[in-house]
Amino acid sequence: MRKLLLIAILTVLHINGFSQLRPVVKIDTTQQSVEYWQKWMADLNEMGVEKKNDSFYVKEEVLKLLKDSGYRNSVYPTTYTWAATVGLLNKMELKKAFWHMLNLYQTDTVNRNMVVGTFILYDSLMDMDKIILNTFYTYAFTDPQSCRINNNKPDIFRPDILEQKLRITKEIVGYIWSNRKTKAEKKS
């Protein structure tokens, strides 16, 4: 009898739980919102500095970094921290967050696995190898560690640092490719 009463009570509670009104998540599908997210995704997928044929093309983000010292200081902190990186991720400023993570990979050797793991996790959602390269080619040439800005033009005074960051970028891309290969082998 007790078991039957317990089952009846649990069933009523279970049904009651399903009958409660659940809040509906509203998704903004206005044309303005769609355009915003399309532009956001396009930004992730484009290099800030790109060479085509015999010309270099500099995108809006790099021009802003060259012209606006306040903005440049906000993108390139004196010390890269996980707190700032998480803040950028929460604000969906992924390209900037990925730049911070590339720098953390270099400076925070204890947490390198966390950087690589985060990139691999994002790789399940988007092509992170391309996005990491795009990030490098957007933020590397105006990085104060290797470049001074004179009259809104970059002056690379530490090419060794620039090359080191490119090596790190390639190393992380290698980890992503290796992870993809491992996943593909497990599926077959």
Domain that holds residue 143: 59-188
In a domain, 109, yes or no: yes
State the total domains in the chain.
Answer: 1
pLDDT the model gives residue 22: 57
In a domain, 7, yes or no: no
Check: CB of residue 113 under 8 Å from CB of residue 104: no
In a domain, 29, yes or no: no
In a domain, 41, yes or no: no
The Cα–Cα gap between 115 and 135 comes to 15
In a domain, 12, yes or no: no
Check: CB of residue 172 under 8 Å from CB of residue 132: yes
The Cα–Cα gap between 6 and 159 comes to 73
What are the start-end ranges of the E strands in the chain? 49-52, 55-58, 147-150, 153-156
The Cα–Cα gap between 155 and 122 comes to 33
Successive 10-residue mean pLDDT values, the chain, 188 residues: 50 50 69 86 90 90 94 95 96 96 94 95 95 97 95 92 97 97 92
In a domain, 6, yes or no: no
Which residues are CB-neighbours of 143 under 8 A, at least 6 positions away? 76, 161, 162, 165
The SS3 call for residue 49 is: strand
The Cα–Cα gap between 61 and 137 comes to 11
Q: Which of 37, 56, 36 is nearest to 48 (CA)?
A: 56
Which pTM value belongs to this model? 0.82
In a domain, 1, yes or no: no
pLDDT the model gives residue 34: 84
pLDDT the model gives residue 70: 94
The Cα–Cα gap between 56 and 154 comes to 13
In a domain, 50, yes or no: no
pLDDT the model gives residue 56: 87
The Cα–Cα gap between 17 and 29 comes to 30
